[in-house]
């Protein structure tokens, strides 16, 4: 069971997650920009786009791209849950 927090604690947690989301998002952008040029070179040596994508995913940057993408999805879900908790708390407070 999760601990009950105050709205301010949830807001602090949300702010921290948003900072992490921004940081990871910026890292992912840099990787995707690099991928745009690298994938062309990889594609020249493969028979298909899927093959080129698999070869890219096997690189260090390709693995980081996958990791960062999954982290962003996780942060999105966490932010959604926290926002829902805050809305529920606000509704409870409003009702009295």
Distance of alpha carbon 82 from alpha carbon 67, whole angstroms = 23
pLDDT at 1 over 70: no
Distance of alpha carbon 5 from alpha carbon 11, whole angstroms = 10
Distance of alpha carbon 78 from alpha carbon 18, whole angstroms = 10
Digit-coded pLDDT (tens) for 31-87: 999 999 999 999 999 999 999 999 999 999 999 999 999 999 999 999 999 999 999
Q: Where residue 23 falls among pLDDT bands split at 50, 70, 90?
A: very high
Other Cβ atoms less than 10 A from the Cβ of 68: the count is 20
């Amino acid at each position: 069971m999760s601990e009950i927090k105050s709205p301010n604690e949830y807001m602090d947690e949300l702010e921290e997650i948003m900072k992490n989301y921004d940081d990871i998002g910026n890292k992912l952008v840099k990787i995707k920009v690099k991928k745009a040029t690298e994938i062309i070179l990889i594609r020249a040596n493969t028979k298909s786009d899927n093959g080129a994508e698999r070869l890219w995913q096997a690189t260090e940057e390709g693995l980081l791209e996958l990791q960062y993408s999954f982290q962003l999805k996780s942060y999105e879900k966490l932010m959604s849950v926290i926002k829902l908790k805050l809305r529920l708390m606000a509704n409870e407070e409003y009702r009295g």
